[in-house]
């Protein structure tokens, strides 16, 4: 499910429900605003059952829906007073919540799609190639980060001794479903068989993969599978190759879905 669609669709639902509450003369006004904010929020919770998008995304939806309902309530209360000027404190609160809605929408866009290319090129620097901003690193941050770094260095050393030549193709494109092909050769250029290849797809910074895809052997040293990206934006693809139960190759690649 597209997060931008649920965010702005729910925001539109808040506006429509608040207007309907006015036509039905729902009293008190605070109840009208509460229903306008809570009904789209509960509907959103029902829609994401079984496909948890992450606590940050859910928190943005909660704040946007409830903030929009609060702003509508404050504005309607001001209109009921007639020509009496609004105090600066309600104006400040309304401005704050409107700014919060746009800030959350911008942060949500960056978290799923990365910075727009012109901004990323200007702020992060570029040599003419695309600048990717969704990569969180090959090692997860935490209290065991030092041990993880040591493990990564050990794996890199073992891979250099093994000398496998691994080529991953099929990740580029504009489709959400892509045919991924991995070719594995030894240091002499001969195909490597009896390899168990597996892909794990996750969002940058996520702890659990969104999907796991085992690849099937197509021919000698070639392993293929159809990768279906759940949504647009930046994704990290964890590529793991095992032989005889031991992990012989491990890489994290970035995949971009428009």
pLDDT in tens, 146-165: 555 555 666 666 667 678 88
CB 159 within 8 A of CB 182: no
Cβ atoms 76, 29 nearer than 8 A: yes
pLDDT < 70: residue spans in the chain: 1, 79-86, 111-114, 117, 124-159, 161
pLDDT tens, residue by residue, 169-184: 999 888 889 999 999 9
Nearest to 10 by CA among 58, 81, 49: 58
pTM of the predicted protein model = 0.51
On whether the CB atoms of residues 236 and 202 are closer than 8 A, the answer is yes
Domain spanning 145-257, CATH architecture: Sandwich (2.60)
Helix or strand run (H / E) with residue 100 = helix 88-113
42's tokens: 């509960």
- Domain coordinates in residue numbering, the chain: 3-113, 145-257
């Amino acid at each position: 499910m597209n997060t931008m669609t649920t965010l702005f669709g729910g925001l539109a639902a808040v506006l429509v429900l608040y207007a309907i509450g006015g036509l039905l003369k729902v009293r008190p006004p605070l109840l009208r605003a509460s229903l306008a904010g809570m009904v789209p929020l509960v509907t959103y919770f029902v829609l994401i059952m079984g496909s948890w998008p992450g606590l940050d995304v859910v928190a943005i939806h909660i704040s946007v829906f409830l903030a929009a309902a609060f702003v509508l309530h404050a504005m309607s209360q001001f209109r009921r007073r007639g020509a009496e000027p609004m105090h600066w404190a309600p104006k400040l609160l309304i401005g704050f919540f409107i700014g919060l809605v746009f800030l959350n929408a911008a942060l949500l866009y960056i978290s799923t799609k990365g910075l727009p290319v012109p901004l990323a090129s200007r702020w992060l620097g570029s040599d003419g190639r695309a600048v990717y901003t969704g990569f969180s690193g090959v090692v997860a941050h935490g209290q065991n980060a030092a041990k993880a770094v040591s493990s990564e260095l050990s794996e890199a050393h073992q891979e250099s001794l093994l000398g496998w030549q691994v080529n991953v193709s099929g990740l580029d494109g504009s489709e959400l479903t892509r045919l991924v092909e991995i070719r594995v050769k030894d240091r002499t250029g001969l195909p490597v068989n009896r390899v168990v290849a597996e892909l794990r797809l996750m969002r940058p910074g996520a702890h659990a993969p969104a999907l796991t895809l085992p690849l099937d052997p197509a021919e000698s040293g070639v392993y293929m599978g159809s990768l279906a990206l759940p949504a647009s934006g930046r994704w990290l693809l964890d590529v793991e190759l095992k032989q005889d139960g031991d992990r012989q190759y491990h890489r994290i690649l970035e995949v971009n879905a428009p």
